[in-house]
Structure 1
Amino acid sequence: MADDQEIEVKKNVEGIEEGFNETNTSTNLELTVNEIIEQHVGSFGLSQLLQVFLVSLAWVFDAHNTLVTVFTDSQPAWKCKVAASSSCSLSAGMCGLAPGTWDWVGGHKSSTIAEWGLICGHKFRAGVPASMYFIGSLFGSITQGQLADMYLGRKKTIVLSCLLTAITSFLTSFSPNVWVYAFLRFTNGFARSGIGICCLVLSTEAVGRKWRGQVGNYGFFFYALGFLSLPLIAYTSRTSWRNIYRIISLFPLIYSFFLTPFISESPRWLILKGRTDEAMQVLNKLAKFNGNKLPKNLTIINPSVTVNSTKTKKLWSVSWAAKRMVALMVAGFGVGFVYYGVQLNVENLNFNLYYTVAANALMEIPAVLIGSVLLGCMDRRVIFSSASILAGVSSILCILFAKKNKSKRGWGQLGLEAVGFMTASMAFDVLYIYCAELFPTNVRNFSVSMLRQTLMLGGAIAPVLVVVGRLSPAFSFLVFGVLAIFSGVVTVWLPETKHAPLYETFEQQEKEEKLGASSDGVEMVESTRS
């Protein structure tokens, strides 16, 4: 009898527990992607480290294709065919010599200038291919930024961009003349545009707010590796500019087939597209590798649904967003002009080309490391403005060395140029991160692509100034300096994003930024009263 009563009590207790568990699990835990990453996935763990590493590798190919013309389109050294000949003198300059009395040191296939005779009356044609590359990047940024936000997503856009980059780089090596070469450089610039845009966004959208700046900045470390490896590739193929293009085309091809399958799509983008199950799978995968586990009753909040908007707003239809974008684009033009221009202008320094490019590449590393430290303790806009102004001052100071005797100016000018490039690189990196944080997920790729357009526009004009710099180096450095300082001033009014979360829609960002401003005002009043 007692045993029967005990069994009955146990059944009742188990029934109550089961009912409680069913009630508990039936209650959904609704969180945003920001909250899921911060509370359950982990702000930055092993999964995000692997994701960021694999994604950022693509920056290497971006650097290769952007800076390859420093070597392929440089003006090589020349020599007289007959030593001590009265018909040829090195001091006279090649343009005043009779054909056949002089020759290129590395042979006529060492660069495009040597092969197609882009000197003297045709010297301005030498800057056309590099300009066309940046113009192609400008148009590519528009297209691929929209593809990544609206249709393909971040991951597929990276794959597409890498494949097209490999194909166009390889085809460029078969150019029969400067005009076909310029066209293929245009297509190459168009192809590689998705790499820089999507690598930054895909890396930062999977980590917590504490690590967002550092993760975005570390991506540029891989750009520095690409920059640093380029002189090695170019030196091994210094007698054939075509082989340089063939070598650099292999890397993005291998990456697309063998490494991108291990990259995860952005859960933020998947949520906005209504692909909740896929987003949950990505978040579960990230949490698992971090040694964490998502709650079984977890539901992801889709901001595009909760705001009850009838249509998705475009960036230019929101006044505060449009004003921010214009300021960033103006600053981006100046920074792009200086950043790419200083790299392409190294041939106008009185120093060995390979050493100078290597020195600039090495300056990228402290730029990334110092920038990462500063991003953890300083405001984004303060870092950007300070770095831009310092880059401008350094460029202007190079003029002083340009006026001195050529035999004595090399090391001092190289040092100032390296400092100017390092700070320009830091400003360039921080501006990308700042842009990604200033706008919501539904237009984040597009906003970064708009910034990239102006960076590329600056880069497109820079080669023309480099050609002018062959006649007047001081003038080129003055222009670089003035534009860098102007870029540092134009962004001082923009809001700070260091401690702000990544928003998903304009409505959500506008609402929460107003609440944040109101709370800041209340805190100021309270502190004043106290």
Structure 2
Amino acid sequence: MTDYEAATAFLGEWGSFQQQVFFLLCLSTVPNGFTGLSIVFLADTPPHWCVVPAHVNLTAAWRNNSIPLEEDNHSGDLLPSKCHRYKLVDIQSFSERGLLPGVDVNLSNVPKEGCLDGWEYDRSVYISTIVSEWDLVCDDRWKNPLTSSLFFFGVLTGSFISGQLSDRYGRKIVLFVTMAVQTVSTFIQVFSPSWPVFCAVFFVVGVGQISNYVAAFVLGTEILGPRVRIVYSTAGVSLFFGMGYMLLPLFAFFIRDWRMLLLGLTLPGFLYAPLWWYVPESPRWLLSQGRVAEAEAIVRNAAKRNKIEPPQVIFSPLQKELQSDRKKTHNICDLLRSRNIRWISITLWLVWNILTIAYFALSLNTANLYGNAYFNCFLSALVEMPAYTLSWLMFRWCSRRLTLFSTLFMGGLFLLLIQLIPANLISLAITLEMMGKFAVTTAFAIVYAYTAELYPTVLRNTAVGACSMASRIGSIIAPYFIYLRSYSISLPYILMGSLTVLSGLLSLLLPESYGMPLPDTITHMQPFPGCCRKTPYTLTQTTEEEKVAERKSPAVL
């Protein structure tokens, strides 16, 4: 057992203090669920066609036939063109001469032109989206996936800076500052006058969104005991994130205007300010910074909350000295400094990257599935709930490495099978996609907790943030996987399935952390198989620091 866990074992696992920390930190992740995926409705593309100005003198027959029919890439049916109309000068001439479309004039011979007067949009589902407000269609349709990618660029930036800030200045302050950044910037986004401004503010939302999630994740991981930590890091934060995701289609169903929808999603964020007085800083982090008195004060307050009498000496003098020695400042470069930690980091970055592509591509694709967009989004969120529960069960009793491999491999296999389903079996194809989403979501919950277990306290927030940062390359390009549907419906599933299977195989290279204590220093980390011959730091072994402490200090840790 590590020094900190031994010293605080008297607190127990599930007292009032731990319950408060568990539920408040889980509650703080709810806004991440609807903020991170709100673009599904904010930027959905409603049916649209070219405007035919009312002042153009056309008969009813010609006005009804002014939009050419084109074959739909998905269904193969003939549908009105989204980006072209017949040349108005020509059809006005035919109309004035009394000619009938398809009878006197062969429409295939009539020249076409673009939507020179703009577009009309079907308002039966949405009052407005950013697509209909700023005409992000046809020649400008590339702006739609770019909107999501810019958000994920913000997530990448937040992952890069928040981990290091959190390891340097504390988990709690970064958590609340970035929650404020996310809430305020989302509120500002409501008043965006143009698409570039919307994207610029969306970038800032992304910075805050990932930063507060990672900070809350690591804070709970470090405060809670081993058993509760497993529940928190797999099912806890993930289930509350899923609750936020499930709320998104409910909000969107009742609020069909994108500005009002954003406003509705913003308001809950302002309710989290009072949590500052109820969520403590991580005592484990305070010890790593040499701030022993503050750490003891939090632990004694926790004992009071749990109605437990703390020992007179919580952290022995020698242990304080050891913790003070760990105060050395670490940064993201330490993730690549030694051979062992370098191979662990690179492998995790690749696994996170591919996993993120699959998760966000499947989440963003719900608007493109057949049927009701709100129901499909709710279904996509609903399948995550049992997935998070399964991740906790597997993480509690199974090998970390084999658990991650099995969920990734099965997720990729389900996605590869979709292309084999006949076009008329739409429900079966959607079922396979949801099963793939289920497996990928389970793996996503597991990889967060697995990563936190592999890295030491002095680098944990930086490491989780760096993995999240590396994975943002995947989230940035995930919208373009969906964009590939315009060329081939099967292509995104083939790419996602193949990459996900590959990431499952890569995960087998990682060291096992099941049954191992949470490492405090880099020397406590498990060795990368085939890379380092260092003896693992296990539950049954004693480090040199602990041997010295046992010889020189009679105090109970």
* Interval of TM-score (by shorter of Structure 1 and Structure 2): 0.7 to 0.9
Matched, 1:274 2:294: no
Distance, in Å, in 2 between the alignment partners of 1:223 and 1:309 is 34
TM-aligned CA deviation for residue 44 of structure 1: 3.1
TM-aligned CA deviation for residue 31 of structure 1: 8.6
Moved more, 100-109 or 451-460: 100-109
Alpha carbons of structure 1 residues 473 and 46: separation in structure 2 relative to 1, 3 Å: farther
Matched, 1:236 2:254: yes
**SS of the residue 2:423 aligns to:** coil
Match 2:134 to one of 105, 110, 116? 116
Task: Please say if residues 287 and 323 of structure 2, whose CA atoms lie closer than 8 Å, have aligned partners that are also in contact.
Answer: no
**Which residue is equivalent to 2:271?**
254
Moved more, 484-493 or 281-290: 281-290
Superimposed CA distance per residue, residues 51-79 of structure 1 (whole angstroms, 9 cap, x where no aligned partner):
01101112111122210100001111347
TM-aligned CA deviation for residue 114 of structure 1: 1.2
**Which residue is equivalent to 2:103?**
none
Moved more, 67-76 or 348-357: 348-357
Matched, 1:48 2:18: yes
Residue type at the aligned position of 2:15: G
Moved more, 502-511 or 292-301: 502-511
Distance, in Å, in 2 between the alignment partners of 1:518 and 1:431 is 22
Matched, 1:93 2:81: yes
Match 2:122 to one of 71, 94, 105? 105
Moved more, 310-319 or 361-370: 310-319
Matched, 1:226 2:196: no
TM-aligned CA deviation for residue 319 of structure 1: 2.1
Distance, in Å, in 2 between the alignment partners of 1:495 and 1:44 is 29
Alpha carbons of structure 1 residues 125 and 101: separation in structure 2 relative to 1, 3 Å: closer
Distance, in Å, in 1 between the alignment partners of 2:2 and 2:300 is 14
TM-score (norm 1): 0.85
TM-aligned CA deviation for residue 86 of structure 1: 1.9
Distance, in Å, in 1 between the alignment partners of 2:12 and 2:494 is 47
TM-aligned CA deviation for residue 306 of structure 1: 5.9
Distance, in Å, in 2 between the alignment partners of 1:279 and 1:414 is 51
Alpha carbons of structure 1 residues 138 and 58: separation in structure 2 relative to 1, 3 Å: same
TM-aligned CA deviation for residue 293 of structure 1: 2.2
Residue type at the aligned position of 2:423: K
Alpha carbons of structure 1 residues 472 and 298: separation in structure 2 relative to 1, 3 Å: same
**Which residue is equivalent to 1:419?**
435
Residue type at the aligned position of 2:449: I
Distance, in Å, in 2 between the alignment partners of 1:86 and 1:353 is 29
**Which residue is equivalent to 1:404?**
423
Task: Please say if residues 50 and 85 of structure 2, whose CA atoms lie closer than 8 Å, have aligned partners that are also in contact.
Answer: no
**Which residue is equivalent to 1:15?**
none
Task: Please say if residues 271 and 302 of structure 1, whose CA atoms lie closer than 8 Å, have aligned partners that are also in contact.
Answer: no
**Which residue is equivalent to 1:11?**
none
**Which residue is equivalent to 2:494?**
478
Residue type at the aligned position of 1:468: L
**SS of the residue 2:315 aligns to:** strand
Matched, 1:36 2:7: yes
Moved more, 281-290 or 84-93: 84-93
Matched, 1:498 2:484: no
Alpha carbons of structure 1 residues 501 and 487: separation in structure 2 relative to 1, 3 Å: same
Moved more, 364-373 or 74-83: 74-83
TM-aligned CA deviation for residue 307 of structure 1: 9.0
**Which residue is equivalent to 2:353?**
333
Alignment of structure 1 residues 176-325 onto 2, 5 Å: 176-217=193-234, 218-238=236-256, 240-255=257-272, 257-300=273-316, 302=319, 305=322, 311-312=328-329, 314-325=334-345
Alpha carbons of structure 1 residues 31 and 205: separation in structure 2 relative to 1, 3 Å: closer
Matched, 1:386 2:386: no
TM-aligned CA deviation for residue 318 of structure 1: 2.5
**Which residue is equivalent to 1:18?**
none
Residue type at the aligned position of 2:240: F
Distance, in Å, in 2 between the alignment partners of 1:447 and 1:364 is 25
Moved more, 44-53 or 111-120: 44-53
Unaligned runs of 5+ in 1: 1-29, 521-530
Distance, in Å, in 1 between the alignment partners of 2:385 and 2:128 is 29
Alpha carbons of structure 1 residues 514 and 126: separation in structure 2 relative to 1, 3 Å: same
**SS of the residue 1:434 aligns to:** helix
Alpha carbons of structure 1 residues 209 and 399: separation in structure 2 relative to 1, 3 Å: same
TM-aligned CA deviation for residue 470 of structure 1: 3.5
Identity %: 27
Matched, 1:173 2:152: no
Residue type at the aligned position of 1:86: N
Superimposed CA distance per residue, residues 76-109 of structure 1 (whole angstroms, 9 cap, x where no aligned partner):
1347998992224571322223657973222885
Alpha carbons of structure 1 residues 189 and 375: separation in structure 2 relative to 1, 3 Å: same
Distance, in Å, in 2 between the alignment partners of 1:97 and 1:109 is 24
TM-score (norm 2): 0.81
Alpha carbons of structure 1 residues 457 and 44: separation in structure 2 relative to 1, 3 Å: farther
**Which residue is equivalent to 2:535?**
514
Superimposed CA distance per residue, residues 33-57 of structure 1 (whole angstroms, 9 cap, x where no aligned partner):
11123x3011233321220110111
Alignment of structure 1 residues 322-471 onto 2, 5 Å: 322-401=342-421, 404-405=423-424, 408-409=425-426, 411-471=427-487
Residue type at the aligned position of 2:14: F
Superimposed CA distance per residue, residues 365-407 of structure 1 (whole angstroms, 9 cap, x where no aligned partner):
1011111111111011111111111111111222233x513xx
TM-aligned CA deviation for residue 303 of structure 1: 7.3
Superimposed CA distance per residue, residues 239-296 of structure 1 (whole angstroms, 9 cap, x where no aligned partner):
x1111221222222221x2223210111100111121111112112222333322111
Distance, in Å, in 1 between the alignment partners of 2:482 and 2:233 is 30
TM-aligned CA deviation for residue 164 of structure 1: 0.3
**SS of the residue 1:496 aligns to:** coil
Match 1:68 to one of 20, 38, 42? 38
Residue type at the aligned position of 1:479: L
**SS of the residue 1:373 aligns to:** helix
Distance, in Å, in 1 between the alignment partners of 2:383 and 2:283 is 35
Give the number of equivalent residue pairs: 483
Moved more, 82-91 or 479-488: 82-91
**SS of the residue 1:359 aligns to:** helix
